Amino acid sequence: DIVMTQSPDSLAVSLGERATINCKSSQSVLYSSDNKNYLAWYQQKPGQPPKVLIYWASTRESGVPDRFSGSGSGTDFTLTISSLQAEDVAVYYCQQYSTTPRTFGQGTKLQIK
Amino acid sequence: QVQLVQSEAEMKKPGASVKVSCEASGFTFIGSYIHWVRQAPGQGLEWMGWINPNSGGTKYTQNFQGRVTMTRDTSISTVYMDLNRLRSDDTAVYYCARGVNGDYSWFDRWGQGTLVTVSS
């Protein structure tokens, strides 16, 4: 199974500042056949299901604010929130969908400093 | 609009079975895989498997092999997740989610979740 490891486990950032969450996979999720990274990022607020923010490592889902961006390739990925807003307080998960079983990172809790 | 609506919360005793439903609307039911993901209280997300509503084909993670069965009823655009021999550590919110890009896909829509509580 591919193990997804996120860092940090929790993060406190001031409003308007940049937040960065990292995700490392135990093996590459880049497929040479299509040159795509099978990596998604989700946001989960309390009492709600997860919501996809980013897929293919860097493609923003329709309707997601452009302050959210994803980067990286192979085994190392980053979710960046360029200017933190109050409504961004949540837990963030990365997920690989390249192999079975699909696996998620342990989550990063983002709070306001 | 695209929606996945799940059945209500369930309370079960250890050793019993539970069947959670997920009704799809707003999209072509047989055109997308439906995955099941669970989340224990205060914990992270655990993928359980998928069902292809078109063929009825399924794939389950090893952790649930022999205990989970996913089925579908195309006439009512509904998928089901059956989990048997319940244990206390099966207490979790169970989500269905749509894989919009075939088998190897991110999950772009989620059901609201169904809390299953296993307790004697």
Interface-testing mutation among A29, A97, A108, with chain B (most B C-beta atoms within 10 A): A97
> Which residue's structure tokens are 């997601």?
A64
pLDDT at A59 over 90: yes
Contact A103, A5 (CB under 8 A): no
Q: What is the pLDDT of residue A103?
A: 98
Cβ within 8 Å of residue A67, ≥6 positions away:
A81, A82, A83, A85
Q: A14-30 pLDDT, tens per residue?
A: 999 999 999 999 999 99
Q: Which residue of A has its CA nearest to B64?
A: A101
Contact A113, A13 (CB under 8 A): yes
Contact B49, B70 (CB under 8 A): yes
**Interface A:B, Cβ pairs < 8 A:** 50
Q: Name the stretches of chain B with pLDDT < 50.
A: none
Tokens of A69: 């961006």
Q: What is the pLDDT of residue A99?
A: 95
Hey, are the CB atoms on A50 and B47 less than 8 Å from each other? no
Answer whether B63 touches A (CB < 8 Å): yes
| Phi and psi, residue A22, nearest 5° | -110, 150
Q: Which residue of A has its CA nearest to B42?
A: A46
Q: What is the pLDDT of residue B103?
A: 86
Beta strands in chain A (DSSP E): 4-7, 10-13, 19-25, 30-31, 36-37, 39-44, 51-55, 59-60, 68-73, 76-81, 90-96, 103-104, 108-112
Q: A90: closest CA among A46, A35, A53?
A: A46
Interface-testing mutation among A95, A102, A109, with chain B (most B C-beta atoms within 10 A): A102
- Per-residue confidence band for A86, with pLDDT thresholds at 50, 70 and 90: very high
